[in-house]
Chains A and B, each alone.
Chain A
Amino acid sequence: MALVLNEEQGMLRDSVKAFLSERAPVAHLRRLRDSRDAAGFDRPLWRAFADQGYSAILVPEAHGGLGLGAVEAGIIGEALGRTLTPSPFLSTAVLAARALARSGSAAQQAQLLPAIAAAETVIAFAVDETSKHRPDAIAATAARDGSGWRLDGAKTFVLDGHVAERFIVAARTAEGGLTLLLVDAQAPGVQIERTLMVDAHNAARLRFDGVRIAADAVLGAAGAADAVLAEVLDFGRVVVAAQLLGIADAVFELTLAYLKERRQFDRAIGEFQALQHRAAELYIDIELTRALVLGALQAMDADPAKAGLIVAQAKAHACTTANRAVQEGVQMHGGIGMTDEFDVGLYMKRARTLQELFGDAGYHADRVAAMGGY
């Protein structure tokens, strides 16, 4: 498949970019942050987002969605990265939508997928338990309890955890396999602590103490969710990689404009070769990431079971590139880059969070080595 967007995808990219830069530019994030907004995101915006169909990308058509794929989800993610818009898109419209579409029962799908498409609900996906991403070391337990289950354990870095009506929680069953459970945020035994993050985006810590889960709240077969979890995580990773690409692009645009405009020693600082070469190297890194991320998105659409390697490559590469972009962004802006008033620092903070989310460059380099047989 050609590594270019097709016509419809190009139109989607233009429309979501225009929508977000008009409705939710970086100033929108500042307002939420500075007003210490309790929800941490804007509900009317989330509904307007749904009116455009953006929350319905991964929801099958049978459930009121658009039935599109990873490439389209990545286009939305990239645009959200450019504007730093806080949105339940990743938690709800990507992770939860994909998990439900992939392994939800007919009843679960009928109840929740149309609500996701219409942005009428927020569903958080709870996987991580340690400060570094280690999905192979999940310790939360789901134990048989009469006809249902009993959930114990703790989760951290749960995106939108404090505003979600429900969680999809990964827990281990006695036989050792993983289970995905739908948990009501109001259920007895659930404790939710919002964590205020460096990037002013939403996350929470969750505790589950003997939470009773009905039998019909399990996604797919109990103890057999390992493959589904791996696939949903890869979906998340590749969309996060696209967000990191959006960040790198936006920071680079700001920085390039500054190199042309800022004058010292009677000339634009962009005339200095020391800066030109660094800008050129950064540009090349961004183009490399763009090509690799699109390849990974297409690979997820072609066959998620075979996309693991390129997804790991893309997430690692996007982390490294975005990190370089924000560091150069601050440095090339000089003192103004260090001020809270200027946007480049917000990009740096967001890039830091997204690098950590679902595995940083080192984590994915380790996967690449393991998959390469070394």
Chain B
Amino acid sequence: MSDLESFRRETRAWLEANCPAEMRRPVTSESDACWGGRNFKFQSEAQRRWLQVMGARGWTVPTWPKAYGGGGLSKEEAAVLAAEMRELGCRPPLWSFGIWMLGPALLAHGSEEQKLEHLPRIARGEIRWCQGYSEPNAGSDLASLATKAEVHDDHLIINGQKIWTSYADAADWIFCLVRTSTAKKHTGISFVLFDMQSPGVSTRPIVLISGKSPFCETFFDNVRVPRGNVVGELNAGWTIAKYLLTHEREMIGGIGDRGAVKPLGQFAADAVGLDEHGRLRETALRAQIARFEIDEAAFRALMQATGDRARHGMGNPAMSSALKYYGAELNKRRWELMASAAGADGLEWEGERSQDGTVARTWLRTKGNSIEGGTSEIQLNVVAKRVLGLPGV
């Protein structure tokens, strides 16, 4: 038996023994997921236990080195683990900006000290991170950001404001882009890490059209940050920021895959009903859903192909923009069709029957998918220039 095959058998046996039954159902929404952190309230003992056993094994971050709290698995082993988890329906033990975004950036650009300090705590879900990127006047043109950091011998003093900080009010630490030089736009930015409990940090939730507040405004008033918390060189933060955005795009691109509890066609069949030929009663909707499911299948195939090509050394980094663009647009389409299939029932905003307006609120929330993490238009610019080599600004 090959090593990989015995790894598969051991993994399967371990998952069967250790993944609680409640954790073998899909995550239904962001509030149903386990985010970890100092103040996280577990929704169940099963959720707490699943994080604890997976974190102890390093399998929240299977391919990170063991020294940094990871599982030390090869890509092939990690693929086996993912396949076995999918097979058994095991949900991810932890949703984390630390895993998806900061971790890869620290692994590539962090000092040994920074890696040892932060990565194991990300892996175990002990510290929840948020991302301080966008500002009121720096959205698509992110490099025009103005949050100022005065550089002193052993510390920085930060003043300014961030916006669209996901879950800033629930996060323990922030990775943040600050301006350390005004001489040049892109090369005056630094990448810093600091505790959200530092004096001078405050947050204010932003109520979205969905009625929920996944984002905050974040204010910095003379926040003192140790000099050692700068990742990489001073004024060289833009490179790290771009590296991290690539991971963010891949993550958001995958939204379409994570949210689905059951196929859209099935949801519509239950909501609208079938005629005597077993066809959806709304024929125009039926055709739209079928077209959607075809595009969704193509998107899944492209996600897989992109991963497989990368493993075979045929990857193209700009493909993450293509996936982010398409995943975001696809998810918007899914929820337009969900809302249409749900009909009047999908308009309910509160109450148990609608689970407090899940359809209406999620439909509204997805409108942000093509704005956050770089708008669809910015992604298309990246594809046009970096992949297709079209000229221009």
Cβ contact of A374, chosen from B274, B295, B380, cutoff 8 A: B274
Once the chains bind, are A3 and B305 in contact (CB under 8 Å)? yes
**In the bound complex, CA of A32 to CA of B83 (Å):** 51
Instruction: Say whether chain B's binding surface is mostly helix, strand, loop, or mixed.
Output: helix
Once the chains bind, are A372 and B266 in contact (CB under 8 Å)? yes
Q: A288-B301, A369-B289, A372-B293 in contact; A271/B266 too (CB < 8 A)?
A: no
Q: A283-B322, A374-B279 in contact; A289/B384 too (CB < 8 A)?
A: no
Once the chains bind, are A288 and B326 in contact (CB under 8 Å)? yes
Contact count band on A: 35 or more
Q: A291-B301, A291-B304 in contact; A276/B326 too (CB < 8 A)?
A: no
**In the bound complex, CA of A372 to CA of B267 (Å):** 11
**In the bound complex, CA of A372 to CA of B296 (Å):** 13
B contact residues, total (Cβ < 8 Å): 45
A329 to chain B, nearest CB (A): 15
Can you list, as one digit per residue, whether each of B184-217 has a CB less than 8 Å from chain A (1) or not (0)? Answer: 0000000000000000000000000000000000
Residues of B within 8 A of A288 (CB): 295, 298-299, 301-302, 326
**In the bound complex, CA of A141 to CA of B21 (Å):** 57
Once the chains bind, are B390 and A279 in contact (CB under 8 Å)? yes
At the interface, yes or no: B116 with Cβ under 8 Å from chain A?
A: no
Cβ contact of B287, chosen from A287, A365, A372, cutoff 8 A: A365
Once the chains bind, are B298 and A289 in contact (CB under 8 Å)? yes
Stretch from B170-178, B308-316, B356-364 that touches the partner: B308-316
Cβ contact of B290, chosen from A290, A294, A366, cutoff 8 A: A366
Residues of A within 8 A of B265 (CB): 369, 372-374
Cβ contact of B289, chosen from A268, A279, A313, A374, cutoff 8 A: A374
At the interface, yes or no: B335 with Cβ under 8 Å from chain A?
A: no
**In the bound complex, CA of A268 to CA of B309 (Å):** 32
Cβ contact of A279, chosen from B269, B302, B388, cutoff 8 A: B388
Residues of B within 8 A of A287 (CB): 302, 319, 322
Residues of B within 8 A of A (CB): 263, 265-266, 268-269, 274, 278-280, 286-287, 289-291, 293-295, 297-299, 301-302, 304-305, 308-309, 311-312, 314, 319, 322, 325-326, 377, 380-381, 383-385, 387-392
Residues of A within 8 A of B (CB): 2-4, 256, 259-260, 267-268, 270-271, 273, 276-277, 279-281, 283-284, 287-292, 294-295, 310, 313, 316-317, 361-362, 364-366, 368-370, 372-374
Query: What would 14 A/B residue contacts be, using CB atoms closer than 8 Å?
Result: A268-B390, A276-B381, A276-B388, A280-B388, A281-B380, A283-B322, A292-B297, A292-B301, A313-B297, A317-B298, A368-B293, A369-B286, A373-B278, A374-B265
**Which 10 interchain pairs have the tightest Cβ spacing?**
A291-B301, A276-B384, A3-B305, A288-B298, A280-B383, A365-B290, A291-B305, A372-B265, A291-B302, A271-B392
